[in-house]
Amino acid sequence: MKIDVPMLAVVLALWSSASFAQTASPAASAHDTQTVAATPIPSTAGDAEDSTTSDPETAAADAAQHAWEAYQDTIADALIDSDRPRDWMLAANMMRFVGDASAKPPQPSRAELLERAARRAPDDVLVQWMATLDRSGGNTCVAKPVPDENVEALTRLEPDNAASWMMALALASARKNPALVDDALAHMASSARYDDHFADTLHAWIDVYDRFPMPDSILATEFLAPTPQTPRTTSQSMLSSTSALAQAAAIAMPAYHTLITACKPGTGDGDSWQRHAYCEDAGRLMLGKGKTLIARSIGFAVLRNLGRFTAADQQERRNLDWYMHAGIELFGDDGRDADALAAYQVDWRNLDDEIEVIRRALRRAGLPDEAPAGWAGSSWSVQKMPQS
């Protein structure tokens, strides 16, 4: 997946507003704040001249893309040169899409950055989470062996977080060890919470883009220009949030197929009543306390596969459907409510729970924060619902 200017424009359309309130989060220090606009961006004039197309629209898109790539390279170089392990980890994640070529010699490779960040920040939960996530295959369907030290660090730092034990489950599954699989599931079942650190990852990227604001060479492109459908100002805080969302959404989700497979009846060695009991408790924890829509949806999928969902579980599933449907209606690409979008963006900066962000948005709109009794499904428009 490559994050480009047109894609950023789509995200911007979803997040844009006429005004974007400054949040209460601490501002970056003068030492940390750097303006990328003041950093020379490599010229793309030669590329434009070499283009074989005479289509002005295509030429403009190519120029915008070159400016965006130069901006991202500038950020990656600055993160690599930083003294912060989190910056190294984020730089390594940027290289997932641009490759090691973005690390100019003699800068370290992506693998070296990952290892260095994890080693230098053994007690930073987000660094350890991202290192484990990356090495386990992340949000892909390709499982990779997870180093013992990454899993040990996570479970040591967050023994009450089922998401950390899900990484231990991935390690046990890779080793084809049913006893270790059951042990990881038992820990998931007895955990107090499920936090997949999506919001933490988003906040880390917001910090990066706040420190390295978007340059005028990108702001001036037609892809980010205001339109009647996507009115906006050039608020750097809004643009930081938009860019951060694109980065976090691309990398922050763990791979859930190991959990689904381990908890699916008829999977072999561990297909026992005890494993099913662990999976039921873990699934209900995720459904009730997961901090993202996808985590809660996976929780319900586990319960559904086991055939052990209750009426209360089904209502939670309806709530998830309501959040997704109402969210699309409230924050569609027509920019229908600039104030609501502005408040929504501020909530994402200040909160660490996607469900609470959505519930607040619904309440501000005068809509129920749970699926209403008369709601029949996604074909029914929230716009037709009587306001309370």
pLDDT given at position 326:
83
CA 105, distance to chain mean position in Å, is 30
Bridge partners of residue 193, in order along the sequence: 161
- 45 lies in which domain range? 5-121+196-249
Q: What are phi and psi of 161, to 5 degrees?
A: -105, 115
Residue 377 lies in a domain: no
pLDDT given at position 237:
75
pLDDT given at position 12:
45
Per-residue b or e along 265-278, where b marks 16 or more CB atoms closer than 10 Å to that residue's CB? eeeeebeeeebbeb
CA 295, distance to chain mean position in Å, is 12
Which of 183, 170, 360 is closest to 254 using CA atoms? 170
pLDDT given at position 36:
45
Structure tokens at 366: 């005068």
Structure tokens at 217: 């060479």
Residue 356 lies in a domain: no
pLDDT given at position 22:
26
Half-sphere exposure of 359 (CA within 13 A, CB side): 14
Instruction: Let me know: does 316 contact 296? Beta carbons within 8 Å.
Output: yes
With a CB cutoff of 8 Å and minimum separation 6, the contacts of 182 are: 270, 274, 275, 278
Residue 387 lies in a domain: no
pLDDT given at position 64:
79
Residue 11 lies in a domain: yes
pLDDT given at position 17:
30
pLDDT given at position 306:
94
Tell me how far apart the 2 most distant CA atoms of the chain are, in Å: 68
Domain count, the chain: 1
pLDDT given at position 270:
61
Structure tokens at 243: 């860019």
pLDDT given at position 161:
98
With 0.95 as the threshold, say if the pTM is over it.
no
Residue 316 lies in a domain: no
Half-sphere exposure of 235 (CA within 13 A, CB side): 20
Residue 206 lies in a domain: yes
Give the span between the Cα atoms of 158 and 168, in whole angstroms: 12
Instruction: Let me know: does 115 contact 127? Beta carbons within 8 Å.
Output: no
Residue 90 lies in a domain: yes
Give the span between the Cα atoms of 57 and 360, in whole angstroms: 40
Total Cβ atoms within 10 A of residue 366? 10
With a CB cutoff of 8 Å and minimum separation 6, the contacts of 271 are: 265
Residue 254 lies in a domain: no
Is 161 strand, coil or helix? strand
How would you write the pLDDT of the chain (388 residues) with one tens digit per residue?
444 444 444 444 444 332 222 222 333 333 344 444 434 444 444 444 444 556 877 887 788 788 888 888 899 999 999 999 999 999 998 886 655 544 455 678 888 998 999 999 999 999 999 998 887 765 444 455 566 888 999 999 999 999 999 999 999 998 899 999 999 999 999 999 999 999 999 999 999 999 998 887 777 765 565 555 555 544 677 788 888 988 888 876 888 999 999 999 887 666 688 999 999 999 999 999 999 999 999 999 999 999 999 999 999 999 999 998 887 667 555 545 667 777 888 899 999 999 999 999 999 888 899 998 888 765 444 444 434 3
- Report cis status (omega within 30 of 0) of the bond before 106: yes
Handedness of CA 268, 273, 275, 280 (dihedral sign): positive
Per-residue b or e along 302-338, where b marks 16 or more CB atoms closer than 10 Å to that residue's CB? bbebbeebeeebeebbbbbebbebbbebbbeeebebe
Q: What are phi and psi of 193, to 5 degrees?
A: -155, 170
Per-residue b or e along 95-132, where b marks 16 or more CB atoms closer than 10 Å to that residue's CB? beebeeebbeeeebebeebbbebbeebeebbbbbbbbb
